[in-house]
Chains A and B, each alone.
Chain A
Amino acid sequence: MAQTTVAQTKRIKDWFDKIGSIGDQEGDTQQARMEHKLLVYMGLFMGGGGILWGTICFFYGLYVPAIIPYGYTVLTVVNFAGLYWFKNFQVSRFFQVLMSLLLPFMFQWSLGGFVSSGAVMLWSMLALVGSLTFQDIKLSQRWLIVYLLLTIFSGFIDDWVKRYALNLSEGVTTAFFVTNITVISAIVFGLSIYLLSLLRHHQFQLEYLVEARTADLVQATEQAQKERQLAEDANRAKSTFLAAMSHEIRTPMNGVIGMVHLALDTKLTNQQQGYLNNILISATALLGVINDILDFTKIEAGKLRMEEVPFKLEQVMHDVSTILAPKIQEKGLELLFRVEDVPQYLIGDPLRLRQILLNLLNNGIKFTEMGEILVSLKVVEKQDERIKLQFAVRDSGIGMSAAQAKRLFQPFVQADDSITRKYGGTGLGLSISKRLTELMGGAIWVESTLGEGSVFTFEAWFGYDGETKEVLTPRRLDWGGLRALVVDDNGTAREILSSMLDKFGIESRAVVSAAEALAELEKKQETNPYQIVLADWQMPEMDGAQLVAQIRQRQNWVQPNVLMVTAYDSQELYDITKPLQVDHYLTKPVSPSTLLDSLTNVLGPGKNSLVKAPTASIRQVRYNFEKVHILLVEDNEINQQIARSLLIKVGAEVTIANNGQEAVDMVCGYDDELPYDGILMDVQMPFLDGYQATKMIRDDGRFNELPIIGLTAHALIEERQKGLESGMNEQITKPIEPELLYATLKQWLGAKVKSETRLKAAARIEAESETEQLVREPEQGGGAPVDEWALAGFDARSSIKRLAGNEGLYRTLLQRFAEGYGDVVVGLSEAMERDEREVAIRQAHTLKGVASSIGALDLAEVAGRLEKVLKEGDFEAGRRLLPTAAATLAQAIGTVNRFLADKERGETVEVEGSGESEAGGVAEMLVTLYGYLVDDDGEAIDYLAEVWDSLRHELPEERLLALQTSVNDFDFEQGVIDLEIVAEAIGVSLEKRDE
């Protein structure tokens, strides 16, 4: 029963809904649908009322008044049909409201005026207007006005209406009255319900919305948290990955670069040397890219921290110039520094500053084919404790357009895609530099003109301790009246040197060539001779060394002090100028303070000088680690070998600990004075890592002064910080840069070592002309002529001397040794196995003898020890020595074989060359090479390598270098030109054989 009621109610509701939506159209808003419903329901109500009224009137025989409500109902149905068909809500509403207002008016007229019960009906129409209010307030206001006017109007015509009104019976009047009151109550009740429901609906809606929103929010928050967690995890994973990759990549790179360094120190053919150099360049480039990417990622992640350490600006400049020297030299450019009054001692991140400068300078070098690159440095703003410096790097390269310049600092973007092809590079350098300068509180920008070069400028803030400041120029030096002549082919360099001299109170004049310098010196001989000559080494036509030679030859002149300026440390320059009494060497960049030091060294400070005591310049302090004992802690054998070789190369004594524990035992186990002057400690080691080991050593309390330098494959500041916290003095990254290793060690090694080296250097300056070092240096490799009897680990010279200089005999000995002694250790061990003591002793003895005779010192020593223990009958010790002996022997034989093979190859070429007349041989080679080059034949490169030694034997090497470069670069067109120049110089005709 209840169910049917519910079902019926639902059906009625559906029916109402359906009727209510006759005016609806697709796409109507909720509001519009609501309005349609309201209108229809009102019409239904009024229409229903019309039927009721009509029926009552009809019942009482009032036929005319019955027509009015019936008519109203009919018109309402018609109006809704119109709404259903035409869907024009506005029109339908207008009619409906109009009808509703006219209806009571008609009633009033037909039923007897406003005082009659019909008037009550009129008032009831207020409900209609009220309901309209919900739809449209403005509209309903207008209708209200119309309604009031009608009411007033009907008041005026009330009397007239009454006259014609129908006379109603008491019953009808009562019925009207009752229905009216009922209807009005119903309407009021209905409206209240409606309003309430509306209100509740709103409330509910609100509640619902709030709830929904809250749920959404909660979900969103959860989601966000989840995502954040994910992102954080990812980021952490990325950082770990980066750190791991950095380590994983750098460790093998360390092996590659280190081994190449070592290999380059061995005796190599020209070709091998070339290949190895290429490997080194590629490996270094790769390392650079890896570092760039690491840096970039760190900057992106906001993880890059700037250090705040005191540093000397000049050192940064010097580093930059040293690192770039080979490139600068290779391209024949000039790198110049113009430093205005800038404090030298700053606080900041010198490595990052160096990185920015290197990035900009490398760029400059890359895009500059000829000319100079100038770095200008000046102070832009000075505050109490900080200072803003501006660095400008100006090149004379290809430049770029404004559009290109704009995109330049974006990551992975270069001026042009074709640039990537031609010049290479990741395009990260500038983007990194930009971020770095921003981290230093500054900015970077570029001004450039296509074809004329670019100026990259950046500014950065540095900490600056006002108290320890050292400004160079204002010091009064008593060098007044001195005159200096500056000789340099580069205008900017002349200008820089002259302005510095000017600040020191030295009058100067600058000339562009050695010839002009000689003329100028000559001119002033009588009147006012120069006391100082600052000469650039590398100049066209007559170079600095030749100029000095010329000056020194003119013995009747007043001899000036000569300061030689050179772009790089060069053994060659020392060798050339050794007899010429060059008073001092200055390496570019010449900064005010280095020039000051040099001048002080040469001239003395003058009488009222405030200048600090002269210090040995870097040049004199060559790295010499004699009597320095380093404990090398490293678990990886290859790295051990590399570091050890690097240290031994400069004369240090090296003891190896294979892990942290061993190191701690070796250091803390000492009761007496520790034999080590310093420790080189790998950071990553099994058992006890470098940090822990360092901490344990420091915790001992006795070794707080012992320098401990960390070796790490991580280039991260965090690592460095960790190292410093553990008690390390400094950390250097692998791959080990030899220069950096030496410099760092030198910086931290105790005073005893340092002073010793310095004393030596000072002594050398005094000895001046006959420095032992200069004589000894060539033996240590470098550009000096290679000893043709250089066998690694052999003292060949002494042996030959013992053989009365008979090199042929020595060679035969070597040959016999290599051929006949390969398995002597095997024989020896077999003899021991068979317990034939005498045989074993004899074998060991023979080996010792042969080894000594050919100068194989290591082998002789091992063999001697073996012989000794065997003689003592200690076979156990003998057996333990066997592996060492075998290894040493194998190594010695290997060395000899390689040496003999090289020797033989060299001779074959010589024999070929000397088969004909010598000039003819060279001519033949050049013609053949010319043929290959003209023909673009790939054979050219191998042919040149083949005949290189013979050519070099006959012709000065400088002449051949250009040719070699272009051929090795497969630039055969240039090669043809270079070859023609060579041929012309020696008067060889290159006519092709087949022409």
Chain B
Amino acid sequence: MSDKQVVLIVDDTADVILIINKLLKGKYKTKVAKNGEKALQIALSDSPPDLILLDVMMPGMDGYEVCQRLQEDEQGRQIPVVFLTGNQSAEERERGLGLGAVDYISKPVEPAVLFACVVRVLES
């Protein structure tokens, strides 16, 4: 196993994953999940990620629910969550942060912002 930190990218759109994956590759090891269920499965597995980039709007289990489930779990609670969302309203942001997310990044993702955010969260 490499000693790189692991970032889990959760988004139902392949293109978004592709871009973020490209962006983080090299500095971090990435894992990907296309839906909430899969994300939880990875996050609560034996090798949990060090950070989760979590899309809010997903069919089935949405980002909020994933976040909530993570908070209910001893191990899941330890993993910092950064939400990705297309909706920039204050209420949405508030809701996300209220659920225990450490930060919020709005889509379309600004590569520099995302990268800076990931670095900051993982190195603090």
Residues of A within 8 A of B (CB): 278, 282, 418, 421-422, 935-939, 941-942, 968-973
Q: How far is the CB of A292 from chain B (nearest CB, A)?
A: 19
In the bound complex, residues from chain A placing their C-beta under 8 Å from that of B59 are: 418, 421-422
Q: Knowing that A936-B33, A939-B29, A970-B34 touch, tell me 15 more A-B residue pairs with CB under 8 angstroms.
A: A418-B59, A421-B57, A421-B58, A421-B59, A936-B8, A936-B32, A936-B38, A937-B31, A938-B9, A938-B17, A941-B21, A970-B17, A970-B18, A970-B32, A972-B34
Complex alpha-carbon distance, A937 and B28, angstroms: 11
**28 A-B pairs in the complex with CB atoms less than 8 angstroms apart:** A282-B15, A418-B59, A421-B12, A421-B57, A421-B58, A422-B59, A935-B31, A936-B31, A936-B32, A936-B42, A937-B29, A937-B31, A938-B9, A938-B17, A938-B21, A938-B25, A938-B29, A938-B30, A939-B25, A939-B29, A941-B18, A942-B25, A968-B14, A970-B17, A970-B18, A971-B14, A971-B34, A973-B38
Q: How far is the CB of A846 from chain B (nearest CB, A)?
A: 44
In the bound complex, residues from chain B placing their C-beta under 8 Å from that of A278 are: 15
CB pair B31–A970 under 8 Å, yes or no, is: no
In the bound complex, residues from chain A placing their C-beta under 8 Å from that of B14 are: 968-971
Complex alpha-carbon distance, A973 and B37, angstroms: 12
Total interface residues on B, CB under 8 Å, equals: 21
Residues of B within 8 A of A (CB): 8-9, 12, 14-15, 17-18, 21, 24-25, 29-34, 38, 42, 57-59
Complex alpha-carbon distance, A941 and B30, angstroms: 11
Instruction: Decide yes or no: A939 and B30 within 8 Å by CB, A421-B57, A421-B58, A973-B38 being known contacts.
Output: yes
Complex alpha-carbon distance, A461 and B38, angstroms: 52
Q: Which residue of B lies closest to A967 (CB)?
A: B14
In the bound complex, residues from chain B placing their C-beta under 8 Å from that of A422 are: 59
Q: Give the 4 A-B CB pairs with smallest separation, nearest first.
A: A938-B30, A938-B21, A936-B31, A422-B59
Q: Which residue of A lies closest to B57 (CB)?
A: A421
Q: How far is the CB of A282 from chain B (nearest CB, A)?
A: 8
Complex alpha-carbon distance, A937 and B25, angstroms: 11
In the bound complex, residues from chain A placing their C-beta under 8 Å from that of B21 are: 938, 941-942
In the bound complex, residues from chain B placing their C-beta under 8 Å from that of A941 are: 18, 21
In the bound complex, residues from chain A placing their C-beta under 8 Å from that of B31 are: 935-938
CB pair A938–B57 under 8 Å, yes or no, is: no
In the bound complex, residues from chain A placing their C-beta under 8 Å from that of B32 are: 936-938, 970, 972
Complex alpha-carbon distance, A939 and B8, angstroms: 12
Q: Which residue of B lies closest to A420 (CB)?
A: B57
Complex alpha-carbon distance, A937 and B17, angstroms: 12
In the bound complex, residues from chain B placing their C-beta under 8 Å from that of A937 are: 29-32
Q: How far is the CB of B17 from chain A (nearest CB, A)?
A: 5
Q: How far is the CB of A742 from chain B (nearest CB, A)?
A: 31
Residue among A282, A422, A938 with max Cβ neighbours from chain B (10 Å): A938
In the bound complex, residues from chain A placing their C-beta under 8 Å from that of B24 are: 938
Q: How far is the CB of A938 from chain B (nearest CB, A)?
A: 3
Q: Which residue of A lies closest to B31 (CB)?
A: A936
Complex alpha-carbon distance, A278 and B18, angstroms: 11
Q: Which residue of B lies closest to A281 (CB)?
A: B15
In the bound complex, residues from chain A placing their C-beta under 8 Å from that of B17 are: 938, 970
Q: Which residue of A lies closest to B39 (CB)?
A: A936
Complex alpha-carbon distance, A421 and B58, angstroms: 7
Complex alpha-carbon distance, A937 and B45, angstroms: 14
In the bound complex, residues from chain B placing their C-beta under 8 Å from that of A421 are: 12, 57-59
Q: Which residue of B lies closest to A942 (CB)?
A: B25
Q: How far is the CB of A931 from chain B (nearest CB, A)?
A: 12
Q: How far is the CB of A289 from chain B (nearest CB, A)?
A: 15
In the bound complex, residues from chain A placing their C-beta under 8 Å from that of B9 are: 938
Complex alpha-carbon distance, A418 and B62, angstroms: 11
In the bound complex, residues from chain B placing their C-beta under 8 Å from that of A972 are: 32, 34
Q: How far is the CB of B2 from chain A (nearest CB, A)?
A: 10
Q: Which residue of A lies closest to B41 (CB)?
A: A936
Complex alpha-carbon distance, A973 and B58, angstroms: 17
